[in-house]
């Protein structure tokens, strides 16, 4: 019989970290924020993102975290590594990177050959809030942000950013200060 201990051991080995999330092995993906238990060595205030499981964890106290569902970057476009949140914006403006425009000029046609920046608001792809990821004081151009495509939560569908439902990113935005450490594994 496949036990809970077997599940946790297998999951930990597969993702290469020592998370001990207490969840039902048969549970389907659920993006709803919920408190979960984790190993005690993760410090409060840390954000951990596990792209393979489509979850973001905010460590709230020793052995506890809030787990949110998220969407992640498509294969080859994903961000991995460590960063800090150096900028936070409500209803951020947005412009695709030059690489995004070059990869898909049809999708981003209104941005070709100009400096147009889409204003913030309900139709903006960054959604209601954005947390800007930096490494050594340099913008990575990766974000944790809301989305106008809620159906992509639980999928690898973005150009590299971490997407959350707008109501969830609003909650996370209120909980994390500038300087928060982020690890994307």
pLDDT per position as a tens digit, 83-102 = 999 999 999 999 999 999 99
Region class of 124: left (phi > 0), else alpha (psi between -120 and 50), else beta: beta
Rg (CA), the chain: 17
pLDDT at residue 67 above 50?
Answer: yes
Average pLDDT of every residue of the chain: 88
pTM: 0.83
pLDDT at residue 14 above 60?
Answer: no
Q: Active-site positions?
A: 145, 161
CB 87 within 8 Å of CB 182: no
CA neighbor of 69 nearest in space, from 18, 28, 37, 130: 28
Percentage of residues of the chain with pLDDT beyond 70:
85
Instruction: Give the span between the Cα atoms of 35 and 7, in whole angstroms.
Output: 19
């Amino acid at each position: 019989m496949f036990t809970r201990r077997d599940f946790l051991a297998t999951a930990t080995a597969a993702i290469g970290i020592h998370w001990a999330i207490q969840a039902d092995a048969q549970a389907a993906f659920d993006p709803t924020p919920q408190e979960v238990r984790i190993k005690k060595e993760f410090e409060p205030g840390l954000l951990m993102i596990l792209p393979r499981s489509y979850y973001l964890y905010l460590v709230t106290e020793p052995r506890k975290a809030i787990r949110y569902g998220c969407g992640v970057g498509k294969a080859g476009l994903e961000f991995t590594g460590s960063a800090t949140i150096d900028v936070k914006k409500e209803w951020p403006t947005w412009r695709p990177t030059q690489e995004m425009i070059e990869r898909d000029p049809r999708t981003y046609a209104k941005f070709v050959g100009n400096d147009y920046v889409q204003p913030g608001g309900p139709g903006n792809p960054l959604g209601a809030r954005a947390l800007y990821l930096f490494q050594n004081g340099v913008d990575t151009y990766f974000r944790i942000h809301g989305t106008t495509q809620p159906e992509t939560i639980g999928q690898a569908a973005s150009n590299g950013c971490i997407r959350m439902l707008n109501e969830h990113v609003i909650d996370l935005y209120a909980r994390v200060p500038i300087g928060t450490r982020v690890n994307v594994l």
